[in-house]
């Protein structure tokens, strides 16, 4: 699978977000929306069908393309949420084992990201199911039938779409090893936890104009002994939220992630 776009233009973050990166990998978006969106949109159904009907069988996997398509579409509605094999299996009339098998196929083909949970002995009950993301935001929007920025902004997956898009960029820059999310049963959570050089770094992704310090971030700082937290939002202003918490745009966060990679 081609690499997702590495750098983004801050002034066009949502144009990049809506674009199918698999159709023209590695290019910065220079056209003005909606021209490129219309062009890219024509390719997405073909990309999806080709992947399911040709590429998957070439790997020696013998599963009906329509069954895998239904599972992939169902995962779009779980984008940014916990993966519950039993629940998905019931929705598709298949077993838990089959649902997990489908997930392994799509994650192994690099179209789904499975983010593992972090848990340790902190005296609190922590969730241990993984989170799932459609790795290519353009394909996510295509499968959900989203064709414009206005539709995206009014869609329930508006925030999770931004979260998944930003997580991909951070992990491309920082590397995927030792990357987790964290959530307690009481609702405290951290979107992304990176462990680098023996230190713990947190990333929160907020699809809002001016994110603020939250109780959840305070809890994560204390319980996980975080060295620093970066709150990433689709804007450009950099400002301090706490002595160990900063808000910033995605491009700046990518540069920090590169430094964490060493």
Per DSSP, the three-state class of 193 is: strand
Count of CB atoms situated within 10 Å of the CB of 170: 25
Low-confidence ranges of the chain (pLDDT < 70): 1-42, 262
- pLDDT the model gives residue 42: 61
* DSSP secondary structure code for residue 187 in this structure: S
For 168-198, the pLDDT digits (tens) are: 999 999 999 999 999 999 999 999 999 999 9
Adjacency order of strands within the sheet including 131-134:
81-82, 131-134, 112-115
Give the DSSP H/E element, type plus range, for residue 36: helix 35-50
Single pTM value for the model: 0.84
- pLDDT the model gives residue 41: 56
DSSP string, 44-92: HHHHHHHIIIIIHHHTT----HHHHHHHHHHHHHTTTEE--HHHHHHHH
Tokens, residue 195: 């462990």
């Amino acid at each position: 699978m081609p690499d997702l776009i590495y750098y983004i233009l801050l002034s066009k973050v949502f144009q990049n977000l809506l674009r199918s990166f698999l159709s023209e990998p590695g290019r910065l978006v220079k056209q003005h929306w909606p021209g490129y969106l219309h062009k890219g949109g024509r390719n997405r159904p073909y990309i999806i069908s080709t992947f399911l009907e040709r590429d998957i069988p070439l790997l020696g996997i013998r599963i009906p393309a329509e069954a895998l398509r239904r599972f992939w579409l169902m995962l779009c509605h779980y984008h940014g949420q916990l993966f519950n094999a039993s629940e998905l299996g019931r929705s598709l009339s298949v077993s838990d084992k089959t649902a997990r098998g489908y997930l392994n196929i799509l994650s192994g083909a690099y179209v789904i990201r499975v983010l593992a949970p972090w848990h340790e002995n902190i005296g609190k009950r922590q969730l241990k199911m993984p989170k799932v993301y459609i790795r290519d935001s353009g394909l996510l929007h295509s499968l959900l039938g989203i064709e414009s920025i206005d539709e995206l902004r009014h869609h329930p997956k508006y925030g999770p779409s931004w979260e998944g898009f930003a997580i991909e960029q951070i992990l491309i820059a920082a590397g995927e090893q030792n990357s987790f999310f964290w959530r307690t049963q009481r609702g405290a959570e951290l979107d992304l936890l990176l462990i680098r050089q023996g230190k713990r770094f947190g990333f929160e992704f907020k699809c809002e104009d001016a994110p603020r310090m939250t109780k959840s971030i305070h809890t994560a700082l204390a319980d996980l002994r975080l060295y620093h937290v970066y709150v990433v939002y689709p804007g450009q202003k950099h400002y301090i939220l706490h002595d160990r918490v900063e808000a910033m745009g995605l491009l700046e966060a990518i540069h920090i992630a590169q430094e964490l990679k060493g």
